[in-house]
Chain A
Amino acid sequence: MSILITPDTKVLVQGITGEFGARHTRLSLDYGTKIAAGVTPGKGGQFFEHAGHKVPIFNTVRDAVAATGATVSAVFVPPPFAADAILECADADLDLCVAITEGIPIKDMIAAKRAMAGKKTRLIGPNCPGLVTPGTGKDSTGGCRIGIAPGYIHKKGHVGVVSRSGTLTYEAVFQLTSKGLGQTTSVGIGGDPVNGTSHLDVIKMFNDDPDTWGIIMIGEIGGNAEVEAARWIKANCKKPVAGFIAGATAPAGRRMGHAGAVVGGAEDTAAAKIAVFKECGIECAVTPSDMADALLRIAKARGAKLA
């Protein structure tokens, strides 16, 4: 099994006709993802064609869901219209909305998150690489790739990866695959201060997934989401967990690319978070090159299997 998505998940893409959305839809189709529909207002009735695939395009998410049974959306809509696209998913009762878009105004996300409270739809992101459940084919094809992660670095297996940062997620996955350790699902939750799904939400899912045997949790300076997840792990999670926090050298008060990555106080520095990780029994990667090895260390120490 996996979390959130499986190779059979039917996916729709909002913004499928934009350059960015189109490129990654082609890559996802090549990976084997079941792209069931595209949504671009005004282009309903057209088709998105690639390598023998003919994906129908709809004017609205509701139309796309009614015609194809898609349950998950990938949002590639430009920032000024992205919150609107996210709310359209929620209104159509999708299971999951994965918002890739970077640069959405924080106020739009504050309002969107509030409007989604109590709705069925789970939001991942925004400003995230999306998620991958690897398949069994060559270069892990035959899986489900939603978003912009490179599919081929994955391998089907038993490690769960959760991270705020896209490229650090790839780094961790690549290290795991290079060492023969496959993944159940890799999840990028995004670098914005207001996001739909937290580290803890994903950790709980990995904990409940019998196929996930070990977890890598990657965080950053800013906020307390990693600390919250670490404390929960200490109390509830028996699986080996390795962690890494980026930003030990970031100067205080400066926003480091991610809107969420800014040190505000003493509690959200890299040093403070790493201290909490250690206290909670999470094996910390000394450098970003050490993430897979850190997981191997703690698994070995606990006599836990990872593959």
Chain B
Amino acid sequence: MNIHEYQAKALFEKYGVAVPRGVAARTPAEFDSALSTLGHDGPLIVKSQIHAGGRGKGTFTDGFKGGVKFAKTKAEALDYANKMFNNTLVSAQTGPAGRKVQTVYFTVASDIAKEYYLAILLDRNTSRPVIVASTEGGVEIEKVAHETPEKIFKIIVDPAVGLQGYQARELAFRLGLTGDYFKNAVKLIAALYRMFWETDAAMVEVNPLITTPTGQVLALDAKVSFDDNALFRHPEIVALRDLNEEDPKEIEASKYSLSYIALDGNIACLVNGAGLAMSTMDIIKHFGGSPANFLDVGGGASKDQVTAAFKIILTDPNVKGILVNIFGGIMDCNTIATGVVAASRELALTIPLVVRLEGNNVAAGKKTLAESGLKIESADTMADAAQKIVKLVA
């Protein structure tokens, strides 16, 4: 689960990670009071709040440029905020549809001495948290990793004892920090790690982390995502979820514990198991088709889940055909077949449907499909199924 920058910075402050002062506003009516609360007469930064990066270089659909703006005065900040609000921002990470800005964040503009990069995430090779830092901040870290890997420093944290003082110091020394900068950076790194660990974050990224001419070290930006599996023990984080930032189909799917991701093709698929679902998409593409989605019904799919899955699939106007691919290990194929038949009847399905069933109780499942009287094409293998559906939608 992702959260907005202003929410991430509120968490940062709670854990003692220094950030520039800021106030968020969710309606234009709040802009004035937000700026008064901030009570800052100097320059401000006005930041569009969406769950995607590349905001500063983004362009709004009405032509207004920049999702992050520097404002010399309050009046200028107010003007930018009004231009951003309810406007759709398209950045390198939003896709061409862009995202509607529904919250604007005002912060005090900071004097920057130098920009750095800092992130914490899981290191898959060691199965431990890794802290990544670089002297090259404010730019794409992938580019730094590729072109100047010697400017990236990593610290692996032993989860048995947590981050040690020497590790935070080592990182700060590697970044070339001294004096107050060094002291403040060590403190910030330790606080950020504590936040990462205690909130079950999947990733925390600060880009840029800055030093100011007066000795401060501040998180100028904040990107935080959380481990969905751990949300059950963090109601305070679930409360930060912004449904406006999510695909309505994906939200509906999550209500039924379905894993759904919309893609831009026209062949919908309904599959059990993530690996099989990914390879079903692959095989559709292999035979010249284009998958409309990833949909994993999981291990214990009920008839209701299958019906819900079909409904979600059919809300996508691009869908011209459906491929159901079930290898019943955990799942009873007849449960799937019953769900497919019920959903097809309930929704009066008119587009082609190819069903490939194999595994647990497959004979009963195939019988249910055959006796339904519905126009359902059966397939024996994945290749057979993919070829059939590609032909039917062509």
**Cβ of B359 under 8 Å from chain A:** yes
B259-287 CB contact bits vs A (8 Å, 1 = yes)?
10101000000011111111111111110
Chain B residues with Cβ below 8 Å from A218 are: 275
B104-137 CB contact bits vs A (8 Å, 1 = yes)?
0000000000000000001011011100000000
Q: Is the CB of B299 within 8 A of A246?
A: no
Q: Is the CB of B259 within 8 A of A257?
A: yes
**Cβ of A283 under 8 Å from chain B:** no
Q: Is the CB of A171 within 8 A of B229?
A: no
Chain A residues with Cβ below 8 Å from B283 are: 287-289
Which of B125, B232, B272, B279 has the most C-beta atoms of chain A within 10 angstroms of its own C-beta? Answer: B279
Question: Could you tell me the distance in whole angstroms from the C-beta of A112 to the nearest C-beta in chain B?
Answer: 9
**Cβ of A41 under 8 Å from chain B:** no
Q: Is the CB of B279 within 8 A of A246?
A: yes
Chain A residues with Cβ below 8 Å from B296 are: 257
Chain B residues with Cβ below 8 Å from A254 are: 261, 294
Chain A residues with Cβ below 8 Å from B359 are: 150, 153, 170, 174
Q: Is the CB of A129 within 8 A of B329?
A: yes
Complex-state Cα separation, A257 to B274, whole angstroms: 5
Q: Which of B29-54 contact A (CB under 8 A)?
A: none
Q: Is the CB of A163 within 8 A of B275?
A: yes
Q: Which of A184-208 contact B (CB under 8 A)?
A: 191, 193-194
**Cβ of B208 under 8 Å from chain A:** no
Question: Could you tell me the distance in whole angstroms from the C-beta of A167 to the nearest C-beta in chain B?
Answer: 3
Question: Could you tell me the distance in whole angstroms from the C-beta of B295 to the nearest C-beta in chain A?
Answer: 9
Question: Could you tell me the distance in whole angstroms from the C-beta of B262 to the nearest C-beta in chain A?
Answer: 10
Q: Is the CB of A250 within 8 A of B278?
A: yes
Question: Could you tell me the distance in whole angstroms from the C-beta of B64 to the nearest C-beta in chain A?
Answer: 26
Which residue from B160, B202, B227, B382 sits with its C-beta under 8 Å from A287? Answer: B382
**Cβ of B327 under 8 Å from chain A:** yes
Complex-state Cα separation, A220 to B276, whole angstroms: 10
B232-270 CB contact bits vs A (8 Å, 1 = yes)?
110000000000000000000000000101010000000
Chain B residues with Cβ below 8 Å from A260 are: 124
**Cβ of B62 under 8 Å from chain A:** no
Given A109-B127, A113-B127, residue A193 in contact with residue B279 (CB < 8 A): no
**Cβ of B317 under 8 Å from chain A:** no
User: Interface on chain B toward A: helix, strand, loop, or mixed SS?
Assistant: mixed
Residue on B nearest A196 in the bound complex, by CB: B127
Given A107-B227, A257-B294, residue A166 in contact with residue B329 (CB < 8 A): yes
Question: Could you tell me the distance in whole angstroms from the C-beta of A120 to the nearest C-beta in chain B?
Answer: 18
Chain A residues with Cβ below 8 Å from B230 are: 105-108
Complex-state Cα separation, A250 to B285, whole angstroms: 11
B334-355 CB contact bits vs A (8 Å, 1 = yes)?
0000000000000000000000
Question: Could you tell me the distance in whole angstroms from the C-beta of A302 to the nearest C-beta in chain B?
Answer: 25
Q: Is the CB of B275 within 8 A of A167?
A: yes
A248-270 CB contact bits vs B (8 Å, 1 = yes)?
11110010111111000100001
Given A20-B300, A223-B124, A224-B125, residue A249 in contact with residue B282 (CB < 8 A): yes
**Cβ of A79 under 8 Å from chain B:** yes
**Cβ of B358 under 8 Å from chain A:** yes
Q: Is the CB of B122 within 8 A of A105?
A: no
Complex-state Cα separation, A302 to B278, whole angstroms: 31
Chain A residues with Cβ below 8 Å from B159 are: 107, 110-111, 114
Chain B residues with Cβ below 8 Å from A261 are: 274-275, 278
Which residue from A103, A170, A256 sits with its C-beta under 8 Å from B274? Answer: A256
Q: Which of B173-230 contact A (CB under 8 A)?
A: 197, 200, 202, 227, 229-230
Question: Could you tell me the distance in whole angstroms from the C-beta of A47 to the nearest C-beta in chain B?
Answer: 25
Question: Could you tell me the distance in whole angstroms from the C-beta of B54 to the nearest C-beta in chain A?
Answer: 12
Q: Is the CB of A168 within 8 A of B227?
A: no
Chain A residues with Cβ below 8 Å from B259 are: 256-257
Q: Is the CB of B383 within 8 A of A165?
A: no
Which residue from A106, A248, A258 sits with its C-beta under 8 Å from B202? Answer: A106
**Cβ of A275 under 8 Å from chain B:** no
Question: Could you tell me the distance in whole angstroms from the C-beta of B342 to the nearest C-beta in chain A?
Answer: 23
A275-295 CB contact bits vs B (8 Å, 1 = yes)?
000000000001111100000
**Cβ of B27 under 8 Å from chain A:** no
Q: Is the CB of B158 within 8 A of A193?
A: no
Q: Which of B131-176 contact A (CB under 8 A)?
A: 142, 145, 158-160
**Cβ of A80 under 8 Å from chain B:** yes
**Cβ of A115 under 8 Å from chain B:** yes
**Cβ of A158 under 8 Å from chain B:** no
**Cβ of A87 under 8 Å from chain B:** no
**Cβ of A241 under 8 Å from chain B:** no
Chain A residues with Cβ below 8 Å from B278 are: 220-221, 246-247, 249-250, 256-257, 261
Given A224-B124, A288-B276, residue A167 in contact with residue B294 (CB < 8 A): no
A143-165 CB contact bits vs B (8 Å, 1 = yes)?
00000111001000000000111
**Cβ of B374 under 8 Å from chain A:** no
**Cβ of A104 under 8 Å from chain B:** yes
Question: Could you tell me the distance in whole angstroms from the C-beta of A190 to the nearest C-beta in chain B?
Answer: 11
Chain B residues with Cβ below 8 Å from A168 are: 273, 275-276, 279
**Cβ of B82 under 8 Å from chain A:** no
**Cβ of A58 under 8 Å from chain B:** no
Which residue from B122, B263, B275, B358 sits with its C-beta under 8 Å from A110? Answer: B122
Q: Is the CB of B129 within 8 A of A110?
A: yes
**Cβ of B330 under 8 Å from chain A:** yes
**Cβ of B321 under 8 Å from chain A:** no
Given A170-B329, A256-B261, A287-B382, residue A150 in contact with residue B360 (CB < 8 A): yes
Q: Which residues of B approach A to under 8 Å, CB–CB?
A: 122, 124-125, 127-129, 142, 145, 158-160, 197, 200, 202, 227, 229-230, 232-233, 259, 261, 263, 271-286, 291, 294, 296, 298-300, 327-330, 358-360, 381-384, 386
Q: 5 more A-B contacts (CB under 8 A) besides A107-B230, A129-B330, A148-B330?
A: A110-B127, A163-B275, A193-B127, A249-B263, A254-B294
**6 pairs, CB–CB < 8 Å, chain A vs chain B:** A103-B229, A114-B128, A115-B160, A218-B275, A257-B274, A258-B274
A-B pairs, 10 with minimum CB distance: A165-B275, A257-B274, A167-B273, A105-B230, A289-B383, A167-B276, A168-B275, A246-B279, A288-B279, A246-B278
